[in-house]
A and B are shown apart, each in its own frame.
Chain A
């Protein structure tokens, strides 16, 4: 088989995040990827968000554009779906972004206990004092502004957890007993859901309530485990050591 000269290089930030969503998606497309961590990744990215991929001389960030880009290169996971299914897939992706992502942001930046003990240290870790404090306060202010604009600022932690539960219930009902959301083949929705659930299940927070909500739905945890086993266990020797070490540390098979 021809050796691929152009690897998809996934540029990650130095905060040691593994970015399961994008990683999973690229793995599902059977694309060779290399993960590289740089402290200034956020500044290199075209949209300011990490991770982003760097292929040849092109740079693409965020899942939506990455999916488009990969599709333009001839790899698509959702070609087998009909129009109605594609609409459904997009709707579920919005649900995940709307609920899970916002809930994760809320917990990281709006819950005072978590902010003090976990988020501030982690976000500011690559930088010396006082830059670390300044940057994390700035980020916190930004996130809180956004929460206020969409109406989440007035929510209590219980309400946020209830929303997460509702979202997980919907995902669990949609998944049912199938291996993937659209039966036999994984799609970008599977990558997205895996990414978020994996992050929730493995990130250390001050309380376990968030991960408990997800664990209530056994088909969702089984789903995560299955994807992890299928796409990440066998690739340890190819990926960079940091990914392997992280995945070993944070494996769901506890």
Chain B
């Protein structure tokens, strides 16, 4: 999403075998000879290449961005990880088949399980101390925190289109990256999604970005039949990655900004595996 917002020319190559990604991590950004993995570093790289969606922001807004990103990582990410990777029904019926179908054999046997264990580990280590002694208590707490975080985001967004006015910025990319999977993926156990649906401005925020930047029409939620699941998976692979995008058209607003002087635009190749980010921080 960030690349879309800042108008960087990207082509997305879906790779099915994460062995081929240079360090085994996805998403990976390849520009000429430089290889970068990890979302935050990719964003920094794009910024240094002058594809900057935050150009219009004041210093204070830049500071706010960092703060809100920290909030998302602390409060929302554990619940997101849990919904995708730890919650047994969700993991077995949606996440595991989805990822396994995109990864080559024999990694498909090993990698989803590993990511699941790492997710649980991360949740327990960061949130599982006393006075919460059992997994159910930790789960209750992280979902409470996540719902509070969604409420805070909703209050901050208010009625504006994006978090800092009319043009999207890094923070919008991060929030979208976290919210879109919750919003769109059809899980059997959906308490976070239900909560999100009660916050209409956040739903509108996701829908706006999807229609403007991803050119996807909003179909209703389909049942998890194999064919429809595949079609959904195609769309959702794009959603879950906040840095990976299909380029159809550059955004006019951002091209007019002074950060885009007429210069030769290098084509950046973005390799994307079946896994999504922000979950990719779990990769070794």
Contact = CB atoms under 8 A, between A and B. Distances in A.
B204 interface: no
Given A88-B156, A171-B63, A173-B63, A94 B70 contact: yes
Contacts of B129: 47-49
Interface in A84-129: 84, 86-88, 90-92, 94-95, 97-99
Contacts of A92: 67
Given A91-B152, A95-B66, A174-B64, A149 B126 contact: yes
Interface residues of A, number: 30
A49 B131 CA distance: 10
Contacts of A151: 281
A173 B153 CA distance: 21
Contacts of A169: 63
B181 interface: no
Contacts of B200: none
A83 B66 contact: no
Contacts of A149: 118, 121-122, 125-126
A55 interface: no
Interface in B180-225: none
Contacts of B130: 46-48
Q: Which bracket fits the contact residues of B?
A: 20 to 34
Given A87-B155, A88-B64, A169-B63, A145 B125 contact: yes
A95 B71 CA distance: 7
Contacts of A46: 130-131
A83 B74 contact: no
A150 interface: yes
B70 A173 contact: no
Given A47-B131, A48-B130, A98 B74 contact: yes
A171 B158 CA distance: 24
Interface string B50-71: 0000000001101110111011
A83 B70 CA distance: 19
Interface of B: 59-60, 62-64, 66-68, 70-71, 73-75, 118, 121-122, 125-126, 129-131, 152-153, 155-156, 158, 281
Closest 5 CB pairs of A and B: A170-B63, A95-B70, A91-B67, A87-B152, A98-B70
Interface of A: 46-49, 83-84, 86-88, 90-92, 94-95, 97-99, 145-146, 149-151, 166-167, 169-171, 173-174, 176
17 contacts: A47-B130, A48-B130, A86-B155, A87-B153, A88-B156, A91-B71, A91-B156, A94-B75, A95-B67, A95-B71, A146-B125, A149-B118, A149-B121, A166-B66, A169-B63, A170-B63, A171-B63
Given A48-B130, A169-B63, 19 more contacts: A86-B152, A87-B152, A88-B67, A90-B71, A90-B152, A91-B64, A91-B152, A94-B70, A97-B74, A98-B73, A146-B126, A149-B126, A150-B122, A150-B125, A170-B66, A170-B67, A173-B59, A173-B63, A176-B60
